[in-house]
Amino acid sequence: MTGFAVERTATAIRVGARPPRPERTALVEARGALLFWDVLDRHAHPAAEIFDARAADWLWEVYGPDTAAAILGDAESVATEWESPVLDAARDLAHLHWAGAWWPGSHAAAVPALPGGLLRAETAWRTAALDHLLDDEDAVERALAGLDLGDLPVLGTDPALAESVATLQERLTDLAETFGVELHANVRTRPEDWALAAGGEAPDLAVASGSDPIDWALVPHGLLDAAGEATWQFGQRSGAWVITVTAPAAPGAEPVPLIGLFDTVEIPLHLDRGAGAFTGEAPAPPDFAMRLRGQVRVYAPRFAVPGDSPDEDREAIIAFARDRLSAPDATLTERAAA
Amino acid sequence: MVHGLAASAAVPRGMLVADAWSQLGDAVAPLSNASGRPLARTVKLLLDPLVLRPAQNPRFSGGVVAIEHVDALRQAILDAGPALAATAAWFQLVKRARRRAGITEGHPQDLYFQRCFELAHLHGDPAPLADAADIAAAAVGDVHAERGEVSVDRLRRFLTDPARTAELSGLLHDAWSHRPEAPQPGPNPGLVAFLDDCATAPDPRLWKALADTAVGTAEAAGLDSPGVAHDYGLTSRERPAAPELGERASKRGLPKPFDRSIMERLFAAFTTWFQRESMNDIPSLVTGEIKRSAAPWQLAEEPSRVAMALGRDASAGLGAEAAESGTDANARLLNRWRRESYVHRVLRLPDATAISVEVRGTRGAYLRRLWVRLHGRELRGEATGADEVWDLLDGALRSVVMDQRDRLKRSLEREEDRT
């Protein structure tokens, strides 16, 4: 049984509340409404914001006809025990969207990266199960267009998983034909692991150092270790004052350039695969010793502008992800990662 | 599956359709999604126009169906069961024929659903037919031959034929030198009233009155003043000028609508839509397009012009930092826009302001998209009813927003590829 308060504003009917933070939010954009699940406060049924009741004619599929009628009527609270394959598909799709954005891959916390190709494939399949109620009329075509069957993992060691992946591939091939999308099937060659000589070694003589948690929202998914902290060191190298920043890389991170920001000093960071970290060094301005009370922030240029650091529920989210790997309702993608 | 029917006097139509559909079983699976519901296009192209026909059966229209019509609706779908099952079987065969013919263009559901329904009525279930595969192959060939008639090649040959160029240029010159002086628009309360209700209770009489009194034409009067059409994003010029006939066109880098040559205008419609059979032959398409280019809003039909005026007013403030909403439609579009930045944060997409995505150009992109859609509807001869206007206004923004989202996602991938 899931219960919600219902509130009516000038622009929307609110069923329950939005999850408090983006990294907790599993979202489905349905026609006329957003559906939200909070990954840290899990319920079978989603909270919702209905902004077009006429378009949200599918609401009964998610809450059941009586609850849907009460929501669209004048009930101030509702409860439901409705079960349906559409509700299951919506919950799965929301979870896959969340995993694509926030799955906290981490060496430090032993959370493996999810296989990206399989994640996109499973997302496309779940999208297709909801084609009749999504806001984007071309959602299925869009999801299929981003797929590459060559990216599906080869899971020779686990016959049951391998069979599930093969079934998924078959279904997607048929789906692509029904929606007129040509699927790619390129075997992608991954760049070999190489170590970049990017500096980042500790200064000869460090006079100050510290570390700060990484703000997930400032970097694209899958680059930095979700449980990691960025560390900085201020010191001398060959007689010059330098600041060095290191941030641990996520499992399977791509070598995208990042920036460490300490006070107003920008330190370009590059992936050092040997060290498993993004590292870099920059000359420290003359008065830098006066500014050491700041904190280091790591961000991706042309992705986000560093603002105030929010409080994140990172430990709880990492614990949630770890549980998912062995959850009875784990997605195929999660099972393949475990 | 349907619970609580007795509790209310009306039932969601989607629920009734889903219930009846599920009784048709696996035979209609090719027309269903993985949840067992009819595909969105199954409803749009088959169930609505060919089985339920709400225009003829008003009792089946709208989002809810009165309790006394529930059985009739269910029965209508069950009665169509054998035809729908045969349609589904034909669709499978047609898809196979398409694959064998190596055809990749167009959306299979758009192209073949109704054709398969015809085949189902002509031949019934294909299973016992020895020549079913041949019939399917012929149907596919037929669909694509019809579309080939009005091909981009033939259009180009027609427009560049030296024997015709002088005549066509003359037509273009005449059309543009005899453009009627548009009356100066007064404040029109009809546009505001329509925008206030179009999302919830569109008024067909008001919609008709706006077209009958040429409100769209009047609202085009300002477009020739310096900078106006430019600011709407419809041209890069200071003011609109007569288009060229044009010799070539490519999908990439099409100019803004008013700057497109006649060739580019028709080309864009050819490649975007797949119902060329409903289009005119090439000579009348070209002369029609020449006249259209000189018309108010560069559109031929008054309802399209009214829709542009509505879109212009409904999109005020889109992409601006802070915007106060006017009409209900305007508020709804601004809300979609605000929702989008929330969705970006939830999906961990790049901050649009941190990369070079044109956020402030959103309104221009919106009016261009709306124009292109109205232009396409005119070419296909589709009338726009009062109850379709909001979907058109909202759909154009959704499409612009989803394209921006795709660009943001691609910018992430490019960032990886660059390194």
A194 pLDDT band, cuts 50/70/90, is very low
Number of H helices and E strands in chain B, helices first, is 18, 2
Average pLDDT, chain A: 89
Orientation angle between helical segments B189-197 and B302-314, nearest 10 degrees: 80
Q: Which of B150, B162, B178, B215 is nearest to B291 (CA)?
A: B178
Beta strand spans in chain A (E): 2-8, 13-15, 25-30, 33-38, 47-50, 77-80, 205-213, 229-237, 240-248, 258-262, 265-272, 277-283, 296-299
Residue A67: CA count within 13 A, CB half-sphere: 25
- A226 and A105 in contact (C-beta within 8 Å)? yes
DSSP string covering A314-337:
HHHHHHHHHHHTT-TT--HHHHHH
DSSP string covering B295-339:
SGGG-SSHHHHHHHHHHHHHTTTTTSSS----SHHHHHHHHHHHH
Residue A318 forms part of a structural domain: no
Beta strand spans in B76-218 (E): none
**Which pLDDT does position A190 carry in this prediction?**
46
B chain contacts of residue A180, beta-carbon cutoff 8 Å: 104, 106-109
**Domain-by-domain residue ranges, chain B?**
1-149, 180-242+294-418
Least confident residue range of A324-338, B23-37, B66-80, B355-369: B355-369
**Which pLDDT does position A150 carry in this prediction?**
82
B1 pLDDT band, cuts 50/70/90, is very low
Task: Check residue A60 and give left, alpha or beta (phi > 0: left; psi -120 to 50: alpha).
Answer: alpha
**Which pLDDT does position B356 carry in this prediction?**
54
Residue A104: C-alpha distances to residues A224, A276, B403 (Å):
9, 16, 28
Cβ distance A302 to B354 less than 8 Å, yes or no, reads yes
With 60 as the cut, is the pLDDT of residue B181 above it?
A: yes
For testing contact with chain B, the best of A131, A148, A182 (most B CBs within 10 A): A131
With 70 as the cut, is the pLDDT of residue B277 above it?
A: no
- A277-291 residue pLDDT tens: 999 999 988 888 888
- A220 and B419 in contact (C-beta within 8 Å)? no
Task: Check residue B210 and give left, alpha or beta (phi > 0: left; psi -120 to 50: alpha).
Answer: alpha
For testing contact with chain A, the best of B33, B92, B345, B392 (most A CBs within 10 A): B33
Highest mean pLDDT among B97-106, B148-157, B390-399: B390-399
**Which pLDDT does position B126 carry in this prediction?**
96
CA–CA distance, B334 with B329 (Å, rounded to integer) = 9
- A107 and A318 in contact (C-beta within 8 Å)? no
Least confident residue range of B28-37, B38-47, B178-187: B178-187
- Dihedral sign for Cα B153, B158, B163, B165, please: negative
Would you give the DSSP letter of residue B185? P
Least confident residue range of A222-231, B38-47, B352-361, B401-410: B352-361
> What average pLDDT does the segment B329-346 reach?
93
Burial degree of A250 (CB within 10 A; 0-12, 13-18, 19+): buried
B271 pLDDT band, cuts 50/70/90, is low
**In this structure, what token pair is assigned to residue B88?**
């589904």
CA–CA distance, B215 with B207 (Å, rounded to integer) = 10
Task: Name the closest residue on chain A to residue B111, using Cα atoms.
Answer: A180
- B237 against A304, higher pLDDT: B237
Residue A100 forms part of a structural domain: no
Task: Name the closest residue on chain B to residue A271, using Cα atoms.
Answer: B419
Q: Which of B257, B292, B266 is nearest to B171 (CA)?
A: B292
Least confident residue range of A44-58, A66-80, A175-189, B301-315: A175-189
**Which pLDDT does position B6 carry in this prediction?**
44
Percent of chain A with pLDDT over 90: 69
- B225-236 residue pLDDT tens: 999 999 999 999
What does R_g of chain B's alpha carbons equal in angstroms?
24
Residues spanned by the domain of A61: 2-84
For testing contact with chain B, the best of A102, A103, A219, A302 (most B CBs within 10 A): A302
Residue A176 forms part of a structural domain: no
With 60 as the cut, is the pLDDT of residue B148 above it?
A: no
With 90 as the cut, is the pLDDT of residue A249 above it?
A: yes
In angstroms, the separation between the Cα of residue B318 and the nearest Cα of chain A is: 17
Least confident residue range of A156-160, A200-204, B30-34, B268-272: A200-204
Cβ distance A131 to B8 less than 8 Å, yes or no, reads no
With 90 as the cut, is the pLDDT of residue B251 above it?
A: no
* 3-state SS class at B42: helix
DSSP string covering A13-64:
EEES---SSGGGEEEEEETTEEEEEETTB--SS-EEEES-TTT-TTHHHHH-
Average pLDDT, chain B: 88
In angstroms, the separation between the Cα of residue A201 and the nearest Cα of chain B is: 22
- A214 against B63, higher pLDDT: A214
Task: Give residue A21's Cα distance to chain centre.
Answer: 13
Cβ distance A64 to B18 less than 8 Å, yes or no, reads no
B chain contacts of residue A167, beta-carbon cutoff 8 Å: none
- A44-84 residue pLDDT tens: 999 999 999 989 999 999 999 999 999 999 999 999 999 99
Length of chain A: 338
**Number of CB atoms found within 10 A of residue B340's CB:** 20
Residue A14: CA count within 13 A, CB half-sphere: 10
B417 pLDDT band, cuts 50/70/90, is low
Cβ distance A180 to B199 less than 8 Å, yes or no, reads no
**Which pLDDT does position B279 carry in this prediction?**
60
**Number of CB atoms found within 10 A of residue B346's CB:** 23
Cβ distance A52 to B332 less than 8 Å, yes or no, reads yes
**Which pLDDT does position B275 carry in this prediction?**
53
**Which pLDDT does position B344 carry in this prediction?**
92
Total domain count, chain A: 2
Cβ distance B199 to A52 less than 8 Å, yes or no, reads yes
* Minimal Cβ distance to B348: which of A217, A255, A305: A217
* Minimal Cβ distance to A180: which of B40, B107, B350: B107
Would you give the DSSP letter of residue A250? P
ipTM: 0.89
* Minimal Cβ distance to A220: which of B63, B104, B412: B412
